[in-house]
Chains A and B, each alone.
Chain A
């Protein structure tokens, strides 16, 4: 599974848009990019998944450039409750393994 690199932490204020970028230089052709959110003492929660270009759902957008060597999770108008660790994962949905490889994640701290 491709290795991912994210910033260790980010700070923001309520109401701002937050963009978290993940690098995955050795992403393979069949790999998808998935982001999870985790609050303290809880399990990770799926946020969004994409393969290329842009994906948007009710909570976030995911931007993936043409070379797919990086991706950016965009959270619009964050609130205090968005303070959490965000993980970027890269993997092959058709692969022979059913496990998730988590990196260190990005701790997003939203301040009033």
Chain B
């Protein structure tokens, strides 16, 4: 089966701009989660969408937002970019049942990420 697809793979933006990243989950998966990875903070949970609704949210400012479409594809948006937003943004898809840990061995799959550089 096809994996999780994230686009674009690389992106360079200027401070103050906004950016939209896309994630297409595995077919049949209804949950999409987003993570930010930086050398200083490691992997941090941003938010999770299930059936077009945000179900969980991490501790990030309101500049970070997302949405999910009826076909389960998800987008995340970062407005007013700051230099510190430079990171690898990862999305993970899963079947959607509560309990990501247990789903890991049959449905929780990460994409290759989008490398965002803010200059």
Contacts and interface: CB of A to CB of B under 8 A. Distances in A.
Contacts of A92: 99, 101
Given A41-B112, A103-B42, A105-B42, A46 B105 contact: yes
A39 to B, nearest CB: 10
Nearest to A91: B101
A111 interface: no
A36 B43 CA distance: 12
A46 B105 CA distance: 7
Interface in A38-65: 41-46, 49
A98 B110 contact: no
B72 interface: no
Contacts of B55: 98
A107 to B, nearest CB: 12
Contacts of B99: 91-95, 98
Contacts of A45: 110
A26 interface: no
B58 interface: yes
B111 to A, nearest CB: 5
A104 B41 CA distance: 8
Q: Which 5 residue pairs across A and B have the least CB separation, nearest first?
A: A43-B110, A93-B102, A93-B99, A102-B43, A91-B101
